[in-house]
Structure 1
Amino acid sequence: MSGEARVSVVPPSKSYAPRSPRAKRVPLSPFVPLLVWLLSSLVAALIVIVGVRDLRRQSDEAASLRAQVLSEALAARVRATSLEDRHQVLERAARRSGAELLLVNQDGAIAVDSSLSPPNTGEIVALLVRGRGETVTELGRVRFQATPLGEPLAHLTLLSFVSAPETPAAIPSLVNSVTFLTLVLVGLAVVVGYSLARDVIEDVRFVRERVSEMAEHRTEPSGRLVPVRSVDQVGALTHSFNQLVQRFAAAERAYREDLRTADVHDRDRSAFLAALSHELRTPLNAVRGFTDLLLSEVEGPLSTEARENLEVVRQSSDHLLALINDILDLSAMESGELSLTVSEIDLWEVARGVVAEARGAAMNRPLVVQLTGGPAKVHADERRVRQILGNLVSNAVKFTREGSVIVSVQETTSGASVSVTDTGPGIARDMQAAIFEEFQQAGDVHARRAGTGLGLAIARRLARMHGGRVELESELGKGSRFTVHLPSVAEEPIPTSSRHSQEHAAASTRGRP
């Protein structure tokens, strides 16, 4: 039916969590030397750039100072030299200093030329206006200085041009030195980095192998302490992991102790319930026997009122006997003493007998109990299958005041199934899992029918013992459908006592670290 909630009760099976995608890892061994080489190269390049800039600046400053000193010294000497000797003095000075020299007038005319290729008049006037600075001549990039000769030759000015190359002579030496030093340092850093990386990798691999052994269940369930082989970050990580292992070991010990205690309590409870049920059955059988004797009117005829009262006693004793039998069955299942007698049975025949009994219980109500489907063969314990169907059908009849209860038998690919569909009040979603627990019923406490709440719990356990399962589909206000799936060949009975003890222990340790 549409919009219905579905709860499947199946035997516990091993579940596998989906594996998360593994992130791509960068190998540490080549990564560390590569990183060291990259950083060293960047540092070396930075040193070269800064060094070249400083060398160029110092070269320009030295060329400017040299041009100034040369110009001022020659100006004083030219001032004291005769007109005929000035050209010889400037030529000798230019040859010795490697500079270019010009003696010019204020209008740019050249009086003495000791240059490789003199500039034109306009350029000379511009240089005189600037006084000092940078320009380009046949020497290339140069620094120049303009120095007037002074009285009595104030109309003459000496221009000196000193080479200031773009690439100072010291730059190649600097580059070679830095390159050599960088290669040496990078080589040492790579060797040291590779050694450290290899040690770290070995430590990490060692820790990973120990953890893998724990994950593959080759050690104790709580794990085993990992030896700390270093005092670095890997050692700190190993120490923290060992603390976690110790915590797991303590939690496991507490869990096992709680599990042992739960097993003891379960056995004591089962023994108590079995003993109590046997003790209750003895006087109850006497009550039922004497009630049957009175109803048979051996001692004389009964009045109508007396017969009705005895019928009430008989029905109550039958109900109490059914409750005692449920408790005994539950106790036997929890202790693992309940066994199955498996043979080939027809679910249709079993269901027909259960439906016939249910029709008698629903005779005085506007309730139709119907059987549909056809023959379906399975290997199972007929008595226990009848008990499963009886619990489901009796619950449906008990909780459905009017409408219908339909029992359907069908063959499936793996065996057969029996569904019990009613038009009762339905079961709330938050109660659908709880009703399969012992001593649980759906609905408000004051609205519950007579019973212990063991019927569905026993039905589920019996179905599991056959290798089957019980499913529930229900919607509040629209009814419920219980479906029992049984395999064609009964599997090995699944123990119920150990599972119940584990669930009890898990509940008692919930919230424990």
Structure 2
Amino acid sequence: MERTFAERLRHMRLPLVPLLPAIVVVVGVATAVAVGMLALWHLRTTADQLSSTRADVLASTLATRLRATAIEDRYDFARRAARRTGAEVLVCTQDGEIHVDATFGPPTRTDIVSLLIARQGEVQTRIGRTLYSSSPLGPPFQNTSVMVFVPAPLQPEGAQALVRSVAGLTALLIGVAAIVAFLFSRDLHADVDFVRSRIAAMADPGSSPAGEPVPIRVADQVGVLTHAFNVLVDRFTAAERAYQRDMQRVASLDRDRSAFLGALSHELRTPLNAILGFADILLSEVDGKLEADARENLEMVRSSGSHLRGLIDDILELSAIESGQLRLSRAMVDLRAIAEDVMREASARVIGKPITMTVTGDSPALVFADERRMWQILSNLVGNAAKFTARGSVSVNIEVGEREAQISVTDTGSGIPQADIEAIFDEYRQLGSSNLREKGAGLGLFIARKLVTMHGGTIVVRSELGQGSEFTVRVPVWGSGELAAAAGVEGSSRGRARILSPEGSGA
């Protein structure tokens, strides 16, 4: 199980260690070390200068004393001076010949000449690093010089005290930084945990969606983050309130639309049904034989009324679909029977046209669907095919598989341009020129696709200009095989066809 953020923080070795105290520690230690090294260098330089000055003073003093000392006594004098001063003494000529050697090991003759030329400086001898100085004895010994080698101090005076001071300062800086880091980390952890707990409380399903703003307890990065979160919460709250207002407005408009459509259905259908009823009564010639002109006029009244009733039904159907009020009433239905019923009705509308209406495929073709809506889908497709077919045929083929049923409506009409294939399913959209297009609201194919989608199916179209179109509907069968067997259906009669001519003859 994944641990929560708080649990991970508790198990971290250094939870939320601030970067600033760590930087202070690093910079402080680096500064202390740099200051210590600079001080040690200064002490060493000062000690070397003192040793060099001492060597110079000793060389001058010994040169003066040795000049006044007998030659045979110079060795003893130089040895005593070396013991008393702790330095090494060497008396030699300018060409490197040694007269008195009071050292632990004299340099070579070549080195002596080089040292005499330099007169003073630093040299490495057997006693270690030394600072030397040379001074001539003077007349009458101008060719003789005395060289004094003073050992350089291994550790400058005060170096240990300086190292202890630097170490103490470093320890103090680290201690202070550690305390500050601990306190800062503790407060930061508490602030972050507080913000986390408030956010978690706001995310609780039982809490208010908007929640209360998170209090800003500190004026640091956590405070800035908290402020930004509060601003975001305020924006979400404002958006939610606007959404609720919009939803209430939409619900009110939807209720008003439903009421309006209900009133429209009643107010339009009632007189329209009366008109159609009286037209049918007059056409039945119960009051006497009709003249040809009167019959033609009544047929026009009935046709226009039926067309208007279809438009009203389409608009009400579209409203029910868009508002979500339309519900499917599923049952086992025979698509073959529905198709034949639709084709019989369509045949009556194309009387006089050289069109053959054909139904082929499985019989029975059982699926679990809404019978009324499947009839409406087929009626829209077949009616649309018959509308744009001047001569030829309109056929419906039905095939039922194990999982889905396929209904194909094929015509030999004018066809559809490829660029307009998708547009035909748009609401209030009709294609074709005005002389070919019959009157309509352009809702048939739009409603058909919506109803197919509600059944969990698909509808596709293939068309070629001048060659006709084919609409293919696929809907799930949903266990129709088992129900068909339970109903005593022995099997499907494939290849069986029924032809409906405009005159109503069947074969």
TM-score bucket of the superposed structures, by smaller chain: 0.7 to 0.9
- Aligned partner of residue 141 in structure 2, secondary structure: coil
How many residues get paired? 461
Q: 2:220 aligns with which of 232, 250, 253?
A: 232
Are residues 1:293 and 2:281 paired? yes
Deviations 1:37-65 (A, max 9, x none): 65555455544544444444444334333
Q: Counterparts of 1:328-339 in structure 2 under 5 Å?
A: 328-332=316-320, 338=326
Comparing 335-344 with 178-187, greater Cα deviation is found at 335-344
**Cα distance change, pair 125–208 in 1 and its aligned pair in 2 (3 A):** same
AA at the equivalent of 1:186: I
| Partner residue, 1:394 | 383
C-alpha deviation, 1:472, in angstroms: 4.6
C-alpha deviation, 1:218, in angstroms: 4.7
Q: 1:205 aligns with which of 186, 189, 193?
A: 193
**Cα distance change, pair 425–267 in 1 and its aligned pair in 2 (3 A):** same
**Cα distance change, pair 339–137 in 1 and its aligned pair in 2 (3 A):** closer
Are residues 1:262 and 2:253 paired? no
- Aligned partner of residue 111 in structure 1, secondary structure: strand
C-alpha deviation, 1:400, in angstroms: 6.7
Work out whether residues 375 and 409 of structure 1, in 8 Å CA contact, stay in contact via their aligned partners in 2.
no
Comparing 346-355 with 331-340, greater Cα deviation is found at 331-340
| Partner residue, 1:8 | none
Are residues 1:188 and 2:176 paired? yes
Are residues 1:178 and 2:166 paired? yes
C-alpha deviation, 1:125, in angstroms: 0.6
C-alpha deviation, 1:270, in angstroms: 2.3
- Aligned partner of residue 106 in structure 2, secondary structure: coil
| Partner residue, 1:149 | 137
Distance across 2 between alignment mates of 1:147 and 1:277: 133
**Cα distance change, pair 469–254 in 1 and its aligned pair in 2 (3 A):** farther
Are residues 1:133 and 2:133 paired? no
Deviations 1:418-469 (A, max 9, x none): 465778315758956x945xx4326589797533243345445545665x35
C-alpha deviation, 1:193, in angstroms: 1.0
Are residues 1:29 and 2:13 paired? no
- Aligned partner of residue 425 in structure 1, secondary structure: coil
Distance across 2 between alignment mates of 1:41 and 1:422: 92
Are residues 1:278 and 2:250 paired? no
TM-score using structure 1 length: 0.75
**Cα distance change, pair 225–316 in 1 and its aligned pair in 2 (3 A):** same
Distance across 1 between alignment mates of 2:395 and 2:49: 110
Q: Counterparts of 1:7-156 in structure 2 under 5 Å?
A: 28-29=15-16, 32=19, 42-156=30-144
Q: 1:253 aligns with which of 238, 241, 251?
A: 241
Rg bigger for which structure? 2
Work out whether residues 398 and 405 of structure 2, in 8 Å CA contact, stay in contact via their aligned partners in 1.
no
Distance across 2 between alignment mates of 1:442 and 1:203: 65
- Aligned partner of residue 157 in structure 1, secondary structure: strand
| Partner residue, 1:508 | none
AA at the equivalent of 1:386: W
Are residues 1:384 and 2:381 paired? no
Q: 1:452 aligns with which of 416, 434, 441?
A: 441
C-alpha deviation, 1:117, in angstroms: 0.9
CA RMSD of aligned residues (A): 4.0
Work out whether residues 416 and 488 of structure 1, in 8 Å CA contact, stay in contact via their aligned partners in 2.
no
Question: Which fold has the larger relative contact order, with Cα–Cα distance below 8 Å and residues 6 or more apart in sequence?
Answer: 1
**Cα distance change, pair 254–147 in 1 and its aligned pair in 2 (3 A):** same
Are residues 1:311 and 2:299 paired? yes
**Cα distance change, pair 134–197 in 1 and its aligned pair in 2 (3 A):** same
- Aligned partner of residue 217 in structure 2, secondary structure: coil
- Aligned partner of residue 298 in structure 1, secondary structure: coil
C-alpha deviation, 1:377, in angstroms: 3.5
Distance across 2 between alignment mates of 1:285 and 1:255: 43
Are residues 1:488 and 2:478 paired? yes
AA at the equivalent of 1:425: I
| Partner residue, 2:4 | none
Distance across 2 between alignment mates of 1:419 and 1:166: 107
Give 5+ residue unaligned stretches, structure 2.
Answer: 1-11, 481-507
Instruction: Using the aligned pairs only, state the percent identity.
Output: 43
Deviations 1:141-197 (A, max 9, x none): 222222223334322222122223676565555445433432332133123213212
TM-score using structure 2 length: 0.75
Give 5+ residue unaligned stretches, structure 1.
Answer: 1-24, 491-513
Q: 1:347 aligns with which of 335, 343, 346?
A: 335
